[in-house]
Structure 1
Amino acid sequence: MTQKTAIITGASRGLGRDMALNLAKDGVNIIFSYHSNDKKAKEVILEIESVGQKAMAFPFDANNDKSAQEFIIKATDYLEQENGSANFDFLINNAGTGVFNLISDTTEEQFNEMMNIHLKSVYFLTQKALPYLNRGGRIINISSGLTRFSLPGMSAYAMMKGGIEVFTRYLAKELGEHKITANVIAPGAIATDFAEGSNRDNEEKRAIIANITALGRVGEAEDVGGTVAFLCSDKAGWINGQRIEVSGGMLV
């Protein structure tokens, strides 16, 4: 069986880490990006290697125009050295941060940061990765439940995620001739350090989330990675251009 490789942005912690580990357990080698925490990245590499898969990490700053190209060059150079081919099979655009601010208080700097990180960097990193994505490959972009329901203070972030959902449908249409699928995962409220860890540490907020979620609790990183692994499996080959919300039934 041909060994497959996934490239994941932002996998040194949280959702990205769980995505990487789920894929590794399915026999996929992992290349991932991290922003600045080299120690955490090395820990994830060791976790992936402990299940028998290869792993490598390179830095990537989604708020820097040039960083996407630098990351893809490093990743494909590594693949060329390891495998004799720069090609890979799965691209998961996960890296991101959040800004919590009402529309009346959002600064242009904050808006531009959200646009750079969640929209522009995903668009152009994907563009630069496309020549190396194998026929029959998969692209998975990460959106948010906040594109379906609205919570005050998240407008700039949610707008960019809405753009990612449109982008994903266009990818599905344009890449169909190469048998490459493109889908969106939209997590609900997850207890990670996203947005300063409020879904993890703020008990009042956690109670509110649990009360509006059909399954009665806040999501965990471990609730999302398996869905990404499924979309990269042979079982999901006919799913294309879709938004799959993974929220435990939040605000249904």
Structure 2
Amino acid sequence: MSITTKIALITGGSRGLGKDMALSIAKKGIDVIITYRTKEAEAQEVVKEIEAMGQKAIALHLDMSLFASLNDFVRTVKETLKIKWDTGSFDFLINNAGMGATVPFMDVTEELFTDFLNVHFKGIYFLTQQCVPILNPGGRIINISTGTTRFSNPGYSVYASMKGAIEVFTKYLAKELGAKGIGANVVAPGPVETDFNNAFIRSNPQAKAMMSSLSPLGRVGAANDIGSVVAFLCTDDARWINGQRIEVSGGLNT
């Protein structure tokens, strides 16, 4: 492996925001490991697109809702790094995988709460803990949050609460991992038109129009509005950005 080659691990990279993050990062000359939960065929297509750019890529299975599977996943990452890149470490961890649901507070069940906890906080917390020993000095952790930690949107009490925890967690990562030269930041998208949360925005023209009206730029976001920012944070140009929450929402509710 060339000493200049860097590697990013992006969870949930088979579709939507994660797919665009993977492609945008590959355009920066960075190799990519993506994960998928059920969309293996789509993940392999992303791998092909990245390889067509001249970068190495691979897709691995990961279900963030199965907390007990994290040990095996990290072991697979280590094996993959050795086999495909002849290295024992990587550079960028992008915690993107997630689940969506619009559920009023009074309808939230303990089962739903636990699912969101495992996927959006507990799983990320301990996956990050296991990955830090194999992150290179100068590496970065990028956690994906949401605009709804800054403004409230009915139906998102569980989702936004877990993302709020991630934002606090990120500040502690930046503080505690600085001695290793590892930085940590949050990217918080506003409304984005993807298939996330059953394509809520795409499938609801009225909701899309309402959200667009709240933005000074008059539209909701697209996947490539977010992926390019994540890719930027993986470059040397962003080396002095650390411990920050970067909202990418077009100025929504400014």
Provide TM-score, normalisation by structure 1.
Answer: 0.98
Alignment of 1:189-200 (within 5 A): 189-200=191-202
Q: Runs of 5+ in structure 2 lacking a partner?
A: none
SS of corresponding position for 1:137? strand
State the SS of the aligned residue for 2:67.
coil
Q: 1:130 aligns with which of 132, 143, 150?
A: 132
Which residue in the other structure is 1:203 paired with?
205
- The Cα shift of 1:200 comes to 1.3
In structure 2, the partner of 1:149 is 151
Range that drifts further, 183-192 or 81-90: 81-90
Shift of 1:164: 0.2
How far the C-alpha of 1:72 sits from its partner, in A, is 1.7
* Cα separation, 2, equivalents of 1:83 and 1:187: 32
In the TM superposition, residue 73 of structure 1 has moved relative to its aligned partner by 1.4
Aligned length: 252
Alpha-carbon shift at residue 208 of structure 1 (Å)? 0.2
Which amino acid is 2:19 matched to? R
Do 1:96 and 1:118's aligned partners in 2 also have CA atoms closer than 8 Å?
yes
Contact 1:45 1:57 in 2 (8 A): yes
What residue is the counterpart of 1:2 in the other structure?
A: 4
Structure 1 position 50, deviation (Å): 0.8
Once the two structures are TM-superposed, the CA of residue 172 in structure 1 deviates from its matched residue by: 0.1
Distance in 2, matches of 1:182 and 1:98, equals 24
Q: CA deviation at 1:232?
A: 0.7
Deviation, structure 1 residue 92: 0.2
**Residue 245 in 1 paired to residue 254 in 2?**
no
AA matched with 2:68: K
Contact 1:62 1:116 in 2 (8 A): yes
What is the Cα deviation at residue 185 of structure 1? 0.1
Offset of 1:118 from its aligned partner? 0.2
Distance in 2 between residues matched to 1:223 and 1:66, nearest whole Å: 34
Deviations 1:177-218 (A, max 9, x none): 111100000000000111110111210001001100111001
Q: What CA deviation, in whole Å up to 9, does each residue of 1:34-93 have, x standing for no partner?
A: 001111011100010111100001110110012222222111111112232220000000
Superposition pairs of residues 1-252 of structure 1, within 5 angstroms: 2-252=4-254
Could you tell me how far 1:139 is from its partner in structure 2?
Answer: 0.4
Provide Cα deviations, 1:106-126, integer angstroms capped at 9, x if missing partner.
Answer: 111111111110000100110
Q: Is the 8 A contact 1:210 1:216 kept in 2?
A: yes
Percent identical: 53
The root-mean-square deviation of aligned C-alpha atoms, in Å, is 0.8
Q: Distance in 2 between matches of 1:135 and 1:149?
A: 35
Give the secondary structure class of the aligned counterpart of 1:66.
Answer: helix
The one-letter code sitting in structure 2 at the alignment partner of 1:84 is D
In structure 2, give the amino acid aligned to 1:108. E
Q: Which runs of 5+ in 1 are unaligned?
A: none
Supply the distance in 1 between the matched residues of 2:223 and 2:239 (Cα, whole angstroms): 24
Amino acid at match of 1:120: K
